[in-house]
């Protein structure tokens, strides 16, 4: 009896650290299913929408410990707004100046967890050589075992607003354009 009890206690002691241990998992952004995009004012007449076709990055996630990070690198020259002349203007020297600042970066900490799911990202955006705080609200978040890839995949839609003049991208202010930008980061990431 004493031997059985001792064995049970040893097994319990060995099992507890494993089950209570939080596990930080790393996910690589899937460039085919990750499309940072934005909406900007066009002089009060309309809303221009654009997306960046090339991005990369990673997500670190620990749902048990309710923590994680996200890193997204965006190729500024990969902008697509539907009009070639507009694409060239926005990536050119008067706006994003992608020749000088080829990469925009978003780095953030996942927080506001509810039921193991993050609801908010507190982070910083580096754009046009300037780094400023930009927070994102996570509008949707889901992880599942992907039926085709046979790997765990997480997806999310996050949005936030920032003033582009704070980043030195103030073309159009002289014409009364609103400087606010609605940033959307739609992402899918595959567990490594």
Q: What is the DSSP letter of 1?
A: -
Rg (CA), the chain: 22
Q: What is the pLDDT of residues 25-72, one digit of tens each?
A: 999 999 999 999 999 999 999 999 999 999 999 999 999 999 999 999
pLDDT of residue 158: 97
pLDDT of residue 22: 61
The pLDDT > 70 percentage for the chain reads 89
> Vertex 171, ends 167 and 174: CA angle to 5°?
120
CA-CA-CA-CA dihedral for 23, 24, 25, 28, to nearest 10: 180
* CA pair distance 97, 86, nearest whole angstrom: 13
* CA pair distance 122, 21, nearest whole angstrom: 25
pLDDT of residue 15: 36
Concatenate the DSSP letters of all residues of 23-91 into one string: --EEEEE-TTS-EEEEEEEETTTEEEEEEES-EEEEEEEETTTTEEEEEEEEEGGGEE-S-HHHHHHHH
Q: What are the sequence ranges of the domains in the chain?
A: 22-191
pLDDT of residue 4: 36
| CATH T-level assignment (fold) for domain 22-191 | Lipocalin (2.40.128)
Concatenate the DSSP letters of all residues of 110-163 into one string: EE--BTTB--EEEEEEEETTEEEEEEEEEEEEEEEE-TTT-SEEEEEEEEEEEE
The pTM assigned to this predicted structure is: 0.86
Q: What is the pLDDT of residues 100-147, one digit of tens each?
A: 999 999 999 999 999 999 999 999 999 999 999 999 999 999 999 999
């Amino acid at each position: 009896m004493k031997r059985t009890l001792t064995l049970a206690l040893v097994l319990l002691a060995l099992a507890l650290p494993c089950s209570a241990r939080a596990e930080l998992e790393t996910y690589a952004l899937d460039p085919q299913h990750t499309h940072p995009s934005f909406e900007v004012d066009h002089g009060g007449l309309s809303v221009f929408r654009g997306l960046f076709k090339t991005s990369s990055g990673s997500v670190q996630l620990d749902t048990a410990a309710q923590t994680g990070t996200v890193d997204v690198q965006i190729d500024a020259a990969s902008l697509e707004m539907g009009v070639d002349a507009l694409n060239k203007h926005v990536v050119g020297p008067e706006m994003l100046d992608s020749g000088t600042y080829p990469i925009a970066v978003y780095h953030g900490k996942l927080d506001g967890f509810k039921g193991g799911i993050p609801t908010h990202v507190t982070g910083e955006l580096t754009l046009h050589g300037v780094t400023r705080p930009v927070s994102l609200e996570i509008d949707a978040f889901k992880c599942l075992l992907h039926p085709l890839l046979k790997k765990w995949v997480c997806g999310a839609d996050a949005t936030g607003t920032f003033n582009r003049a704070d980043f030195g991208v103030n073309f159009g202010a002289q014409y009364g354009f609103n400087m606010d930008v609605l940033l959307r980061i739609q992402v899918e990431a595959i567990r490594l």
